[in-house]
Amino acid sequence: MYLSKTHSLALLIAVARASRFLNHPSRVLRRNPPTPSAYPLGDACGHEWQYLNFNPDDDTDEAHLRTLHDIICGDEMRAISSYGQFSAQDVLAPYKRYFPESDEEDDFQTHVKDVLGLIAGMSDTDGAIGSIVGTFVVDNLDFGANDGDGTNCAEEGTLAYTLTDQLDKREKIHFCDPSWTRGSAGDVDCASLDPYPSTKMDSFSRIALHEMMHYSSVGPQTSLKEQIVDVKNEDLQPAYDPPRVHGLLDPAQDDNPAPTEINADSYAWMSLDAWISRKCSKDAEGNDWASFFTQNPPPYEHED
Ligand SMILES: [Zn+2]
């Protein structure tokens, strides 16, 4: 068969186009779910997480983007997770308030140290948070609402969640409105605190650390080798906040030490406890800061 030069060129282009599509069938077949991007308001820092469905021209979205950028790039997340990591490594008071010491059955200290070390980053040389954080995606859409059974912001008391979106198959974090009112850990007024850790010192970074713990690439990929979930106290309410997180371990309350190492809020509050102790301690000698809080949280109130 004869083809004119023009025709054969057109055919070549058509073949080239077809093969390009064949290399990326998902782009043709799917209804193009948006792709996460780097920080939309400026330069991303090393290993900064990715963003989806934020409108940088909207004032609220812009403020949220800055908060998310600042806790990773302004070092708050790195500081908090590092102090949690040190506390586990040296078995300091903040660690012992929420986690058991290692025994012949389980090396709790190493598991907790490894999980928090994954977030903090292993190397001091580049000053960046752990590279795993760069694989996380924050979605500004309440995407859990798309999934019939999924957690979403309409559930009372939900601050944030981490789920695989059934539409784009990505594992993502979404922060609900109430989480944005939590401030920076750096702004916590040390003089206002009780002699025990409490929600008075809560911060947005504590919520963010809690959510990162849930990623399937965190717990299962470390020496822990298990997914980090939300464990329940004896009264079947989730072990959230210092009294309940401590109560899970406390021999006088739940006396249930084993699941502390798979409870997201145990990691988040232990790390915040450690960093606030360091920040507020007047005595920075050695590890003396770790005894800043002189008491454990009071017993949690049982739900009947
Ligand atoms: Zn959780």
Poorest-pLDDT segment among 12-16, 162-166, 199-203:
12-16
The overall average pLDDT reported for the chain is 89
Under 8 Å CB-to-CB from 94, ≥6 apart: which residues? 83, 84, 87, 197, 270, 273, 274, 277, 290, 293
Question: Could you tell me the distance, in angstroms and rounded to a whole number, from the CA of residue 239 to the centre of ligand 1?
Answer: 9
Looking at residues 205-234, what average pLDDT do you find?
97
Q: Encode pLDDT of 124-151 as tens digits.
A: 556 789 999 999 999 999 999 987 667 8
Question: Could you tell me the distance, in angstroms and rounded to a whole number, from the CA of residue 219 to the centre of ligand 1?
Answer: 13
| pLDDT beyond 90 at 100 | yes
- β-pairing, 171-175 with 160-164? antiparallel
Q: Quick check: 143 and 163 in contact, CB under 8 A?
A: yes
Domain ranges of the chain: 46-291
Question: Could you tell me the distance, in angstroms and rounded to a whole number, from the CA of residue 31 to the centre of ligand 1?
Answer: 31
Q: Quick check: 232 and 244 in contact, CB under 8 A?
A: no
Poorest-pLDDT segment among 6-15, 45-54, 237-246:
6-15
Question: Could you tell me the distance, in angstroms and rounded to a whole number, from the CA of residue 214 to the centre of ligand 1?
Answer: 7
Of the candidates 217, 193, 215, 218, the one whose C-alpha atom is nearest the C-alpha of residue 275 is: 193
Question: Could you tell me the distance, in angstroms and rounded to a whole number, from the CA of residue 73 to the centre of ligand 1?
Answer: 23
Question: Could you tell me the distance, in angstroms and rounded to a whole number, from the CA of residue 8 to the centre of ligand 1?
Answer: 59
Q: Encode pLDDT of 242-277 as tens digits.
A: 999 999 999 999 999 999 999 999 999 999 999 999
Question: Could you tell me the distance, in angstroms and rounded to a whole number, from the CA of residue 229 to the centre of ligand 1?
Answer: 6
| pLDDT beyond 90 at 181 | yes
The correct CATH number of 46-291 out of 3.30.1280.10, 3.40.1520.20, 3.40.390.10, 2.40.110.20 is: 3.40.390.10
